[in-house]
């Protein structure tokens, strides 16, 4: 199997799966932990995001606009009612589901989605109460000042202080002409940014651009292309994200407040089809360089930082899903959790990996879709 990156791949993680006695179960050999992959929920259509409630229910979003519940290993037949209308075209649809940190007391969840706006769409967040399979008190708390039909972003995360983060893509604005004038370099819109909000959608007073003329106060970082993964590191509290590059140049970034991540002025990708250069350079003073990048692209999607007890040797490591790469990539981190020591490919070739999560049981859950949107599945990695 060909290496996909500049780091040394752990060779033991590149072995092909061996079919187990159960035809639907596969076993794998990997560095530090061998594991099996078993199905958890089948019959889903384009699963996009997973989350768990205190009672053990697993919530799964389906891109066409449905919120599903998996209870005691069974996918309930009826979707949750009350989900807002979504713009289900191209890359648009229902994206992330995220329970409030105090869900046990307030029954509140958040959904990000492509919101219809005339014949176009933008990325929005609603919060609502989830009770008995129904959403009530549905309130829109944010809608991005950026429209289009692609590069929506849509990933959500709460940090340890209760602030809510949302990724927003550049809406595939052309990377031609004056790159410094690209929407992702313009703080007067929400294209290609991460925003930081209070839990009710208001703006925290210590956001980096509050009070700056011509800048939207929600913005936390900018210069992003198509951010598809977002997670808080449990040991350090750092915010990490992954984003797609064009035909190469996918990035893993440590997100800093007010920082510019360079798109499209600098980067490692090239134009689709022609493979002609986009950028004059790959680095520039005043623009953050990625902690890790992929050439060719794996279409990085879904980001998780493991802290469970089922795979103790992987604690603190970053797990990244790959759509085009059809894999889960494990990034072994340094002792300070700020740099990548090596990379290992896991469950390679099972399908397009949309999301990777750690369940409350300490197992690793993976949502797999395919390009056509046929019925797919959530699977679980368990140690042997």
Q: Are 293 and 249 in contact (CB under 8 A)?
A: yes
Q: Residue 16's pLDDT is what?
A: 32
User: Catalytic amino acids?
Assistant: 151
Longest dimension (CA), the chain: 64
Q: Give every CB contact of residue 23 below 8 A, 6+ residues apart in sequence.
A: none
3-state secondary structure of 133: coil
- Residue (of 264, 178, 254) closest to 221 by Cα position: 254
Tell me which residues of the chain have a pLDDT lower than 50.
1-23
Domains of the chain, start order: 11-359+369-383 (2.120.10.30)
Strand boundaries in 149-295, DSSP class E: 156-158, 164-168, 193-197, 219-222, 226-232, 239-244, 250-255, 292-294
| Alpha helices (H) along the chain | 103-106
Q: Give every CB contact of residue 359 below 8 A, 6+ residues apart in sequence.
A: 52, 58, 365, 380
Q: Residue 152's pLDDT is what?
A: 98
Q: Residue 372's pLDDT is what?
A: 52
3-state secondary structure of 109: strand
């Amino acid at each position: 199997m060909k290496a996909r990156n500049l780091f040394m791949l752990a060779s033991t993680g590149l072995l092909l799966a061996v079919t187990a006695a159960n035809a639907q179960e596969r076993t794998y050999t990997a560095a530090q932990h061998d594991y099996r992959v078993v199905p958890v929920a089948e019959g889903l259509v384009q699963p996009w995001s997973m989350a768990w409630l205190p009672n053990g229910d697993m919530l799964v979003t389906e891109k066409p606009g449905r919120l599903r519940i998996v209870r005691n290993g069974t996918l309930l037949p009826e979707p949750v009612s009350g989900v807002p209308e979504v713009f289900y075209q191209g890359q648009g649809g229902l994206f992330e589901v995220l329970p409030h940190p105090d869900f046990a007391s307030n029954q509140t969840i958040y959904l990000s989605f492509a919101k219809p706006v005339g014949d176009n769409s933008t990325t929005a967040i609603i919060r609502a109460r989830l009770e008995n399979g129904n959403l009530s008190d549905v309130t829109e708390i944010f809608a991005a000042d950026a429209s289009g039909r692609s590069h929506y972003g849509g990933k959500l995360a709460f940090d340890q202080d209760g602030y809510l983060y949302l990724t927003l893509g550049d809406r595939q604005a052309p990377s031609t002409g004056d790159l410094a004038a690209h929407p992702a370099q313009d703080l007067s819109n929400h294209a290609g940014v991460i925003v930081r909000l209070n839990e009710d959608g208001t703006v925290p007073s210590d956001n980096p651009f509050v009070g700056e003329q011509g800048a939207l106060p929600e913005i936390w970082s900018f210069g992003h292309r198509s951010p598809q993964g977002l997670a808080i590191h449990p040991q350090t509290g750092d915010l990490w994200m992954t984003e797609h590059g064009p035909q190469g140049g996918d990035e893993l970034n440590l997100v800093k407040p007010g920082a510019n991540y360079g798109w499209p002025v600098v980067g490692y990708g090239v134009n689709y089809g022609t493979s002609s250069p986009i950028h004059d350079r790959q680095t520039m003073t005043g623009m953050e360089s990625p902690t890790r990048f992929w050439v060719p692209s794996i279409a990085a999607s879904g980001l998780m930082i493991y802290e469970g007890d089922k795979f103790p040797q992987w604690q603190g490591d970053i797990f990244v899903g790959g759509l085009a790469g059809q894999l889960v990539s494990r990034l072994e981190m340094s002792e300070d959790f700020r740099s990548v020591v090596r990379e290992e490919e896991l469950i390679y070739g099972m399908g397009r990996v949309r999301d990777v999560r750690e369940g409350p049981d300490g197992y690793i859950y993976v949502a797999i879709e395919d390009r056509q949107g046929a019925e797919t599945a959530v699977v679980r990695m368990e140690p042997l």
